[in-house]
Protein backbone atom coordinates (compact mmCIF):
# COMPACT_ATOMS: atom_id res chain seq x y z
CA UNK A 1 0.00 0.00 0.00
CA UNK A 2 1.44 3.36 -1.01
CA UNK A 3 1.21 6.31 1.36
CA UNK A 4 1.49 9.93 0.21
CA UNK A 5 3.27 10.94 3.41
CA UNK A 6 5.95 8.24 3.66
CA UNK A 7 8.78 7.15 1.36
CA UNK A 8 8.81 3.43 0.55
CA UNK A 9 12.13 3.01 2.41
CA UNK A 10 11.50 1.24 5.76
CA UNK A 11 14.46 2.91 7.53
CA UNK A 12 13.48 4.51 10.89
CA UNK A 13 10.25 2.45 10.87
CA UNK A 14 9.22 0.58 13.99
CA UNK A 15 6.83 -2.33 14.54
CA UNK A 16 3.09 -1.85 13.91
CA UNK A 17 1.75 0.57 16.52
CA UNK A 18 -0.51 -0.63 19.33
CA UNK A 19 -2.32 1.24 22.07
CA UNK A 20 -0.14 -0.53 24.61
CA UNK A 21 3.00 0.85 22.91
CA UNK A 22 1.59 4.40 23.00
CA UNK A 23 0.64 4.12 26.69
CA UNK A 24 4.08 2.68 27.51
CA UNK A 25 5.92 5.48 25.72
CA UNK A 26 3.74 8.12 27.38
CA UNK A 27 4.39 6.59 30.82
CA UNK A 28 8.14 6.36 30.18
CA UNK A 29 8.41 9.92 28.84
CA UNK A 30 5.88 11.44 31.28
CA UNK A 31 3.81 13.21 28.61
CA UNK A 32 0.68 12.76 26.51
CA UNK A 33 1.64 12.44 22.87
CA UNK A 34 -0.26 14.60 20.37
CA UNK A 35 -3.24 12.86 18.76
CA UNK A 36 -2.03 13.86 15.27
CA UNK A 37 1.34 12.19 15.95
CA UNK A 38 -0.25 8.95 17.17
CA UNK A 39 -2.68 8.91 14.21
CA UNK A 40 0.20 9.34 11.74
CA UNK A 41 2.16 6.55 13.43
CA UNK A 42 -0.89 4.28 13.27
CA UNK A 43 -0.58 4.45 9.47
CA UNK A 44 3.14 3.70 9.64
CA UNK A 45 5.22 3.73 12.79
CA UNK A 46 7.93 6.19 11.80
CA UNK A 47 10.04 6.46 8.70
CA UNK A 48 11.21 8.87 6.05
CA UNK A 49 8.66 11.47 4.94
CA UNK A 50 8.44 12.40 1.28
CA UNK A 51 8.44 16.10 2.25
CA UNK A 52 11.34 16.76 4.62
CA UNK A 53 11.90 20.52 4.84
CA UNK A 54 10.30 23.24 6.96
CA UNK A 55 10.95 26.87 6.14
CA UNK A 56 11.98 29.00 9.12
CA UNK A 57 12.00 32.76 9.77
CA UNK A 58 15.53 32.34 11.18
CA UNK A 59 18.81 30.98 9.84
CA UNK A 60 19.97 27.57 11.00
CA UNK A 61 23.24 25.70 10.90
CA UNK A 62 21.67 23.78 8.02
CA UNK A 63 20.50 26.65 5.76
CA UNK A 64 19.62 30.34 5.82
CA UNK A 65 15.85 29.73 5.76
CA UNK A 66 14.89 26.10 6.45
CA UNK A 67 15.60 22.83 8.21
CA UNK A 68 15.59 19.32 6.80
CA UNK A 69 14.65 16.16 8.67
CA UNK A 70 15.93 12.72 7.71
CA UNK A 71 13.27 10.71 9.49
CA UNK A 72 10.32 10.90 11.85
CA UNK A 73 10.73 8.70 14.90
CA UNK A 74 7.95 6.33 15.88
CA UNK A 75 7.41 4.29 19.03
CA UNK A 76 9.18 1.02 19.76
CA UNK A 77 12.01 -0.55 17.84
CA UNK A 78 15.55 0.76 17.44
CA UNK A 79 14.57 4.33 16.40
CA UNK A 80 11.53 4.77 18.66
CA UNK A 81 11.20 7.78 20.93
CA UNK A 82 11.13 5.29 23.82
CA UNK A 83 14.22 3.29 22.78
CA UNK A 84 16.82 2.99 25.58
CA UNK A 85 19.68 3.18 23.06
CA UNK A 86 18.52 5.88 20.62
CA UNK A 87 15.29 7.29 22.08
CA UNK A 88 14.43 10.77 23.25
CA UNK A 89 15.90 10.50 26.76
CA UNK A 90 19.16 9.17 25.36
CA UNK A 91 19.32 11.96 22.74
CA UNK A 92 18.69 14.70 25.32
CA UNK A 93 21.43 13.35 27.56
CA UNK A 94 23.95 12.43 24.84
CA UNK A 95 23.63 15.64 22.80
CA UNK A 96 22.77 18.12 25.56
CA UNK A 97 19.41 19.11 24.10
CA UNK A 98 17.20 21.20 26.39
CA UNK A 99 14.88 19.06 28.50
CA UNK A 100 11.68 20.57 27.07
CA UNK A 101 9.96 17.47 25.73
CA UNK A 102 10.44 14.67 23.22
CA UNK A 103 12.93 14.31 20.35
CA UNK A 104 10.83 13.26 17.33
CA UNK A 105 13.11 13.60 14.29
CA UNK A 106 16.30 12.15 12.95
CA UNK A 107 18.34 14.92 11.28
CA UNK A 108 20.94 14.84 8.50
CA UNK A 109 23.50 16.16 11.00
CA UNK A 110 23.16 12.96 13.08
CA UNK A 111 22.76 14.74 16.41
CA UNK A 112 24.06 18.29 16.09
CA UNK A 113 20.49 19.60 15.79
CA UNK A 114 17.01 18.18 16.29
CA UNK A 115 13.25 18.70 16.26
CA UNK A 116 11.29 18.22 19.49
CA UNK A 117 7.79 18.32 20.91
CA UNK A 118 7.96 21.22 23.40
CA UNK A 119 5.76 20.90 26.48
CA UNK A 120 6.92 24.07 28.28
CA UNK A 121 3.86 26.13 27.34
CA UNK A 122 1.20 23.44 27.75
CA UNK A 123 2.34 21.07 30.47
CA UNK A 124 2.83 17.31 30.20
CA UNK A 125 -0.80 16.61 29.23
CA UNK A 126 -1.32 19.50 26.79
CA UNK A 127 -0.77 20.00 23.06
CA UNK A 128 2.95 20.70 22.59
CA UNK A 129 4.49 23.09 20.12
CA UNK A 130 7.21 21.81 17.79
CA UNK A 131 10.66 23.37 18.12
CA UNK A 132 13.92 23.22 16.25
CA UNK A 133 17.03 22.98 18.44
CA UNK A 134 20.24 24.05 16.71
CA UNK A 135 23.84 23.68 17.88
CA UNK A 136 23.31 26.59 20.32
CA UNK A 137 20.69 24.40 22.09
CA UNK A 138 18.06 27.18 22.03
CA UNK A 139 14.58 25.84 21.19
CA UNK A 140 12.94 27.88 18.40
CA UNK A 141 9.30 27.25 17.58
CA UNK A 142 8.62 26.06 14.02
CA UNK A 143 4.97 25.01 14.52
CA UNK A 144 2.33 25.53 17.19
CA UNK A 145 1.35 21.84 17.06
CA UNK A 146 2.42 18.53 15.55
CA UNK A 147 -0.38 18.79 12.99
CA UNK A 148 0.99 22.23 12.06
CA UNK A 149 4.48 20.75 11.72
CA UNK A 150 3.24 18.06 9.34
CA UNK A 151 1.36 20.68 7.33
CA UNK A 152 4.54 22.80 7.11
CA UNK A 153 6.68 19.96 5.71
CA UNK A 154 7.50 20.64 2.08
CA UNK A 155 9.82 19.41 -0.63
CA UNK A 156 13.35 20.65 -0.02
CA UNK A 157 14.81 23.38 -2.20
CA UNK A 158 17.57 22.38 -4.60
Write out the DSSP string of the chain: ---SSB-S--TT--SPP-HHHHHHHHHHHTSPPPHHHHHHHHHSSSB-BS--EEE-SS--SS-SSEEE-SEE--SSSTTSTT-TTTSHHHHHHHHT--SSEEE-EE-TTSSSSEEEEE-TTT-TTS--EEEEE-TT--EEEEESSHHHHHHH-BPPP-
| 31 touches 128 (CB < 8 A) | yes
pLDDT at residue 35 in the model = 98
Is it the case that residue 158 has pLDDT exceeding 80? no
At 1-48, the pLDDT tens digits run 457 999 998 899 999 999 999 999 999 999 999 999 999 999 999 999
Percent of the chain with pLDDT over 90: 92
At 60-85, the pLDDT tens digits run 988 999 999 999 999 999 999 999 99
Q: How confident is the model at residue 115 (pLDDT cuts 50, 70, 90)?
A: very high
Domains, the chain, ordered by start: 19-152 (3.40.1580)
Tell me the longest C-alpha to C-alpha distance in the chain. 41
pLDDT at residue 2 in the model = 52
Q: How confident is the model at residue 157 (pLDDT cuts 50, 70, 90)?
A: confident
- Kindly report the CA angle at 37 between 40 and 147, in degrees rounded to 5? 95
Amino acid sequence: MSDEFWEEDPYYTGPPLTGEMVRGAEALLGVSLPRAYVELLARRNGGTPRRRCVFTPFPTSWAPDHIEIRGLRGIGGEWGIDSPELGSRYMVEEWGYPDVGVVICQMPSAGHDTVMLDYRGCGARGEPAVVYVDEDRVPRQIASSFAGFVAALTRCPD
